[in-house]
Chains A and B, each alone.
Chain A
Amino acid sequence: MPDPSTFKRFVEVGRVVLVKSGPSEGKIAVIAEIIDHSRAIIDGPTTGVPRQSFPYRHLTLTPLSVKGLPRAARTGTVRKYVEKEDVVAKWNQSSWAKKLETVKGRRVLTDFERFNVQILKKNRRDRVRRALAKASKA
């Protein structure tokens, strides 16, 4: 019996990837073609990633993939398949994407906003502890 593969996300045509560096940092794209052991052609027509060769080093594979995308499909075809499967919406609903958004939001907080967050966290903490103390007494 063949052992199940420990790998679940493969570099394949149609795999949705997260770009980790460069001008398209933080955006998702789709692998349109594999060039060699280190590069692939990625394309993100709906997310604003221009079609380009990109090293795997600066990509992160996501669990999403566009099924049935023909190899070496050009931008128009990629767009059609991406919109049909609505990959971008699926990505945005994932907790991974949501976490990235909150981190981005935290980076832009001003000093006063950071202070307000501190106060809110303190209030929440206090209420939780008081409720816990009450519950443990009962």
Chain B
Amino acid sequence: MARSKTIASHIGRLSRSKVKAYRGLQNGLKKSDAPVKSEPEPFKEVQVGGDKNGGKRLVPTSKAAAFYPAEDIRQPKKSRKTPQPTKLRASITPGTVLILLAGRFRGRRVVFLKQLSSGLLLITGPYGINGVPLRRVNQAYVIATSTNVDLGEFNELDDAYFVKSSKPRSRDAESEFFENGKPKAKEAYPEAKSVEQKKVDKVIIEAVKKTENLGKYLKASWGLKNGQHPHQLVF
């Protein structure tokens, strides 16, 4: 709410009548048409168990506080800000080739698919070209290039796809002890995920083949050379 300015401490810019005119209170304070809220009863009856306890009791509806702080300190104001959906950089559009700057696949050039509801970017290598699977990535760790791949229609994939399944971990100490030294048996990659990966990559690989050297470009990784400065490069 816009507060009217003060000229000096405790001296407002507007006089009393001007304040009223400013707020439209010429006819006195506004009366709202909302129904008057009925106050709850101060006491309520509660059934009490046990023979010798009198069966019923009058209990106050709102109890006094059990704790008061030693000093009356001013409470900090509660923020009225709400979390907003992550804003996507204008340079990142579906099909944009991105350069990953951190993580397992740092330096790889990948294709951007869409922004998920969590705000993260969904990317794929494609897996067949550079070994980067369907993955989520934060746009802060990404350079957007001006190169674009024609994706066409894109299917619905959201964060739910990436939820890690909770594995039932055997708490058996003995079996763990015996397994010590041997590499843990890896779970096979779920069939459904590899099918999904291939389905998504098919369209992209077809589009990549149309441009000369684009496949090689996605396969190669990016790095700075001597004399190259990121703030002077055009991506």
A residues adjacent to B (C-beta < 8 A):
107-112, 115-116, 119
Alpha-carbon distance A115/B214, docked complex (angstroms): 9
Tell me which residues across on chain B come within 8 A of A108, comparing CB atoms. 234
- A112 in contact with B214 (CB, 8 Å): yes
Alpha-carbon distance A74/B66, docked complex (angstroms): 91
Tell me which residues across on chain A come within 8 A of B222, comparing CB atoms. 111
Asked if B216 is at the interface (CB within 8 A of a chain A CB), the reply is yes
Tell me which residues across on chain B come within 8 A of A119, comparing CB atoms. 213, 216
| Residue from B109, B145, B216, B232 in contact with A107 in the complex, judged by beta carbons closer than 8 Å | B232
**24 pairs across A/B with beta carbons < 8 Å?**
A108-B234, A109-B234, A110-B145, A110-B146, A110-B234, A110-B235, A111-B99, A111-B109, A111-B145, A111-B146, A111-B222, A111-B233, A111-B234, A111-B235, A112-B145, A112-B146, A112-B147, A112-B213, A112-B217, A115-B213, A115-B216, A115-B220, A119-B213, A119-B216
Tell me which residues across on chain A come within 8 A of B145, comparing CB atoms. 110-112
Tell me which residues across on chain B come within 8 A of A116, comparing CB atoms. 213, 217
Residues 207-235 of B at the A interface (beta carbon under 8 Å) = 213-214, 216-217, 220, 222, 232-235
A112 with B220: in contact, given A107-B232, A107-B234, A119-B213 (CB under 8 Å)? no
Alpha-carbon distance A107/B216, docked complex (angstroms): 23
Consensus secondary structure, chain A interface: helix
Tell me which residues across on chain B come within 8 A of A115, comparing CB atoms. 213, 216-217, 220
Alpha-carbon distance A119/B219, docked complex (angstroms): 13
Tell me which residues across on chain A come within 8 A of B214, comparing CB atoms. 112
List 18 extra interface pairs beyond A111-B145, A111-B235, CB under 8 A: A107-B234, A109-B234, A110-B145, A110-B146, A111-B97, A111-B99, A111-B147, A111-B222, A111-B234, A112-B147, A112-B213, A112-B217, A115-B216, A115-B217, A115-B220, A116-B213, A119-B213, A119-B216
Alpha-carbon distance A115/B211, docked complex (angstroms): 13
- Nearest B-chain residue to A119, judged by Cβ: B213
Alpha-carbon distance A112/B99, docked complex (angstroms): 11
Distance in angstroms from A110 CB to nearest chain B CB is 5
Alpha-carbon distance A108/B234, docked complex (angstroms): 6
- Nearest B-chain residue to A106, judged by Cβ: B234
Distance in angstroms from A123 CB to nearest chain B CB is 11
Residues 154-188 of B at the A interface (beta carbon under 8 Å) = none
Q: Which 6 residue pairs spanning A and B have beta carbons closest together?
A: A112-B147, A111-B145, A110-B146, A111-B235, A115-B217, A110-B234
Residues 192-213 of B at the A interface (beta carbon under 8 Å) = 213
Distance in angstroms from A96 CB to nearest chain B CB is 21
Alpha-carbon distance A116/B213, docked complex (angstroms): 7
Distance in angstroms from A40 CB to nearest chain B CB is 31
Alpha-carbon distance A119/B217, docked complex (angstroms): 10
Alpha-carbon distance A45/B139, docked complex (angstroms): 47
Distance in angstroms from B96 CB to nearest chain A CB is 11
Tell me which residues across on chain A come within 8 A of B235, comparing CB atoms. 110-111
Tell me which residues across on chain B come within 8 A of A107, comparing CB atoms. 232, 234
Alpha-carbon distance A11/B145, docked complex (angstroms): 46
The listed residue with most A CB atoms (<10 A of its CB), out of B97, B216, B234, B235, is: B234
